[in-house]
């Protein structure tokens, strides 16, 4: 493996880790607002915990996909890699 591929994977993983928490928080807040609006009441702590657990896989998918695509575009632009 050449140095550019190693850098691509390391930077993609690092970017995904950095973006995970704020993205999870954003998606969680949106899901809570939607659920509260639909039910016309505040969610219980148990319902919030359940929603938060179900948010993790969606967030992981979005963040990993974004970081891989973002690094692919950036490295293709600056280093001529595709």
42-65: pLDDT as tens digits: 999 999 999 999 999 999 999 999
What pLDDT, on the 0 to 100 scale, is given for residue 82?
Answer: 59
pLDDT band of 76, cuts 50, 70, 90: confident
What pLDDT, on the 0 to 100 scale, is given for residue 75?
Answer: 87
C-alpha closest to that of 72 among 7, 3, 17: 7
Q: What is the mean pLDDT of the segment spanning 24-47?
A: 97
pTM: 0.86
The long-range contacts involving 72-76, CB below 8 angstroms and separated by at least 24 positions, are: 72/8, 75/4, 75/7, 75/8
């Amino acid at each position: 493996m050449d140095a550019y591929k190693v850098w691509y994977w390391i930077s993609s993983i690092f970017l995904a880790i950095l973006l995970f928490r704020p993205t999870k928080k954003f998606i969680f807040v949106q899901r809570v607002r939607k659920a509260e609006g639909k039910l016309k009441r505040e969610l219980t702590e148990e319902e919030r915990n359940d929603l938060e657990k179900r948010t993790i896989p969606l967030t992981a998918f979005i963040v990993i996909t974004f970081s891989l695509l973002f690094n692919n575009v950036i490295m293709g632009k600056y280093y001529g890699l595709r």
